[in-house]
């Protein structure tokens, strides 16, 4: 992937989550950080096509550069690429023909922001959804459900700016097809891990036994106490992202092929994704992406041990919220390497900057991404490649 555009932009991502708490799409925000540098839409689309090929899952492009966006409107993205078009660009008659052509190409178009002037009539049918920030939503205090009187909209809407579970529920109640982002702090504050406690207990015991080097029979006996977990483990191990060419048919077979280090890695992943609360599903997705992103960032220079440790660091980075316990207390019951403990419990050590960067690419804070990349002595292109690789690998696990 040699696209020059990756050297001059910062990519960040956030989920577009539907009312079933599933990923409807990934929102990829593209921020220009190198003024005066040419940004070409065809290079951006080439990079994106490696993650979201034709007929693949959907991505919504939020392009923060007006020049790049105008170029993108006149390019030919594959049909599963959704494009967010700011209302001021949609209202400009010079863009009408380009928008109509994108629509005829099969691209889903999202109108971003409330228009300050009338949208050209011929474009009304081109936009499938509008993106409405909660702070600007004139109907946010209405409590009627979708399809009931008083909530009529000409197009469906996606809500942004949601910060709490109550706001999320109200948005879905007013007919939102999805929300952008996820109120992680509020969701985890209301949930806890009681619903997933049995799974958590088995996983913690397994991690301990793997850490102690117990034999396969003992590990298998523990896993058999929870068939659901056994199924999840086999599903993950057999996924394309795991990179094994041999079909794994049993837990014993998995241990023989993987070894204890890789097994512990995937037990850690399951520990972060074991809760049955649907509101926590996007939180689990975030944990997985953090682990993969951090591993991708150290992959060029790190050894196997370092890659494994930063993966666990990212996957575990939300456990304090899920368990409602501080890391220094929580990690007394879950064995982790010292460098992982430093990053999670103390916010120091060699892995801490990578964790901060992982958080930054989730929050669309392009200047922070640039600053953290400079601190790590890596270029934006390396960070962007890690973002795209993360989204590729994560999609293979879902």
Task: Please check whether residues 163 and 231 belong to one and the same domain.
Answer: no
Last residue of a domain, one of 158, 182, 206: 182
Task: Please check whether residues 59 and 8 belong to one and the same domain.
Answer: yes
Is 232 a residue whose pLDDT tops 90?
A: no
In a domain, 249, yes or no: yes
Is 274 a residue whose pLDDT tops 80?
A: no
In a domain, 187, yes or no: no
In a domain, 222, yes or no: yes
Radius of gyration of the chain (CA): 22
Give me the percent of the chain exceeding a pLDDT of 90.
35
Task: Please check whether residues 136 and 244 belong to one and the same domain.
Answer: no
Nearest to 321 by CA among 346, 286, 347: 286
Average of pLDDT values for 96-117? Answer: 91
Residue 293 contacts residue 387 (beta carbons within 8 Å): yes
Task: Please check whether residues 334 and 307 belong to one and the same domain.
Answer: yes
Express each pLDDT in 128-138 by its tens digit: 999 999 998 88
In a domain, 189, yes or no: no
List the CATH number of the domain containing 305.
1.10.3210.10
Task: Please check whether residues 210 and 330 belong to one and the same domain.
Answer: yes
At residue 264, the pLDDT reads 76
Average of pLDDT values for 134-148? Answer: 68
Task: Please check whether residues 42 and 155 belong to one and the same domain.
Answer: yes
- 331 DSSP assignment: T
Domain count, the chain: 2
Residue 355 contacts residue 313 (beta carbons within 8 Å): yes
- 120 DSSP assignment: P
Residue 12 contacts residue 387 (beta carbons within 8 Å): yes
In a domain, 356, yes or no: yes
Contact residues for 11 (Cβ-Cβ < 8 A; gap 6+): 28, 29, 30, 31, 361, 383, 384, 387, 388
| DSSP secondary structure, 212-234, as one string | HT--HHHHHHHHTT-HHHHHHHH
In a domain, 188, yes or no: no
Write down the mean pLDDT value for the chain.
82
| Torsion-angle region of 80 (φ positive above 0: left; ψ -120 to 50: alpha; else: beta) | alpha
Choose between 227 and 147: higher pLDDT: 227
Residue 30 contacts residue 44 (beta carbons within 8 Å): yes
Task: Please check whether residues 176 and 200 belong to one and the same domain.
Answer: no
Give the integer Cα–Cα distance in Å for 281 and 277: 7
Give the Cα-Cα-Cα angle 42, 45, 48 (nearest 5 degrees). 155
In a domain, 139, yes or no: yes
Last residue of a domain, one of 152, 182, 212: 182
Residue 195: which pLDDT band, with cuts at 50, 70 and 90? very low
| DSSP secondary structure, 127-138, as one string | EEEEEEEGGG-T
| Torsion-angle region of 150 (φ positive above 0: left; ψ -120 to 50: alpha; else: beta) | left
Residue 151: which pLDDT band, with cuts at 50, 70 and 90? very low
* Distance of alpha carbon 342 from the chain centroid: 25
Give the integer Cα–Cα distance in Å for 197 and 276: 10
Range of the domain at 113: 4-182
Is 394 a residue whose pLDDT tops 70?
A: yes
Average of pLDDT values for 172-185? Answer: 90
Burial class of 56 by CB neighbour count within 10 A (0 to 12, 13 to 18, 19+): middle
Task: Please check whether residues 55 and 92 belong to one and the same domain.
Answer: yes
Task: Please check whether residues 168 and 263 belong to one and the same domain.
Answer: no
Find the range with the poorest average confidence among 56-65, 204-213, 340-349: 204-213
At residue 231, the pLDDT reads 55
Average of pLDDT values for 263-268? Answer: 75
Task: Please check whether residues 46 and 134 belong to one and the same domain.
Answer: yes
In a domain, 323, yes or no: yes
* Distance of alpha carbon 291 from the chain centroid: 11
Task: Please check whether residues 13 and 51 belong to one and the same domain.
Answer: yes
Express each pLDDT in 283-323 by its tens digit: 878 888 998 999 999 988 878 788 888 988 998 898 888 77
List the CATH number of the domain containing 84.
3.20.20.450
Q: Are strands 127-133 and 156-160 parallel, antiparallel or unpaired?
A: parallel
Task: Please check whether residues 210 and 169 belong to one and the same domain.
Answer: no
Last residue of a domain, one of 153, 182, 211: 182
The neighbouring-strand residues paired with 109 are: 83, 127
């Amino acid at each position: 992937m040699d696209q020059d555009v990756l050297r001059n932009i910062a990519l960040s991502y956030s989920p577009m989550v539907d009312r079933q708490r599933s990923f409807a799409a990934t929102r990829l925000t593209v921020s220009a950080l190198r003024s005066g540098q040419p940004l070409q839409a065809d290079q951006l689309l080439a990079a994106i096509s490696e993650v979201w090929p034709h007929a693949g899952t959907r991505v919504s492009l939020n392009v923060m550069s007006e020049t790049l966006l105008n170029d993108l409107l006149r390019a030919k993205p594959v049909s599963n690429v959704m494009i967010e078009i700011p209302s001021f660009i949609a209202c400009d008659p010079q863009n009408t023909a380009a928008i109509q052509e994108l629509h005829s190409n099969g691209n889903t178009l999202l109108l971003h922001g409330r228009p300050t002037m009338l949208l050209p009539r011929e474009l009304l049918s081109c936009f499938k959804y509008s993106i409405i920030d909660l702070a600007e939503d004139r109907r946010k205090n209405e409590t009627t459900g979708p399809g009931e009187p008083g909530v009529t909209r000409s197009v469906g809407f996606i809500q942004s700016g949601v910060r709490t579970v109550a706001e999320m529920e109200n948005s879905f109640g007013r007919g939102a097809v999805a929300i952008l982002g996820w109120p992680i702090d509020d969701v985890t504050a209301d949930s806890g891990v009681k619903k997933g406690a049995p799974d958590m207990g088995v996983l913690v015991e397994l991690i301990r036994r793997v850490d102690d080097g117990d034999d396969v029979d003992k590990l298998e006996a523990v896993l058999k106490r929870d068939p659901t977990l056994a199924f999840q483990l086999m599903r993950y191990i057999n996924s394309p992202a795991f990179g094994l060419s041999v079909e794994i048919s049993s837990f014993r077979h998995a241990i023989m092929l993987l070894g204890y280090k890789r097994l512990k890695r995937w037990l850690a992943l399951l520990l972060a994704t074991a809760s049955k609360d649907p509101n926590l599903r996007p939180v689990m997705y975030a944990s997985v992406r953090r682990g993969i992103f951090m591993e991708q960032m150290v992959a060029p220079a790190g050894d196997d041990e370092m890659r494994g440790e930063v993966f666990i660091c990212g996957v575990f980075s939300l456990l304090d919220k899920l368990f409602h316990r501080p890391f220094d207390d929580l990690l007394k019951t879950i064995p982790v390497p010292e460098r992982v403990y430093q990053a999670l419990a103390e916010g120091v050590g060699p892995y801490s900057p990578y964790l901060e960067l992982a958080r930054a690419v989730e929050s669309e804070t392009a200047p922070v991404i640039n600053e953290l990349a400079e601190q790590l002595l890596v270029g934006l292109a390396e960070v962007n490649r890690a973002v795209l690789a993360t989204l590729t690998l994560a999609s293979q696990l879902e």
